[in-house]
């Protein structure tokens, strides 16, 4: 995963409030919502390619399966 870098952002208060409401609806922080919006815009414009996340299943073993 890429390292995240802090970046100060000056933004119109009304826009920030709208982003916060949107983020709340999607259970994200405002910061994560801004990053999501920027990422989607970059993908749509062809500036970056979005790679599909691979989800792996964790298989737990029963304690009976373990050998002493």
Domain around 36: 12-46
Which pLDDT band holds residue 20 (cuts at 50, 70, 90)? very high
pLDDT at 25 over 70: yes
**CB-based contacts of 23, cutoff 8 Å, min separation 6:** 29, 30, 32, 33
Per-residue pLDDT, 43: 86
In a domain, 39, yes or no: yes
In a domain, 35, yes or no: yes
In a domain, 2, yes or no: no
In a domain, 34, yes or no: yes
What is the domain count for the chain?
1
| pLDDT 10s digits, 26-62 | 999 999 999 999 988 988 888 887 765 555 566 666 6
Could you give the CA distance from residue 19 to residue 14 in angstroms, rounded to a whole number? Answer: 9
Question: Are the C-beta atoms of 33 and 26 separated by less than 8 Å?
Answer: yes
In a domain, 7, yes or no: no
In a domain, 59, yes or no: no
Q: Does residue 9 or residue 66 have the better pLDDT?
A: 9
């Amino acid at each position: 995963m890429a390292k995240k870098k802090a970046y100060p952002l000056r933004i119109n208060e009304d826009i920030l409030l709208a982003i916060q409401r949107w983020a709340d609806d999607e259970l994200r922080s405002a910061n994560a919502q801004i990053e999501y919006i920027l990422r989607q815009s970059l993908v749509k414009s062809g500036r970056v390619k979005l790679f599909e996340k691979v989800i792996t299943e964790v298989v737990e073993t029963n304690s009976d399966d373990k050998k002493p």
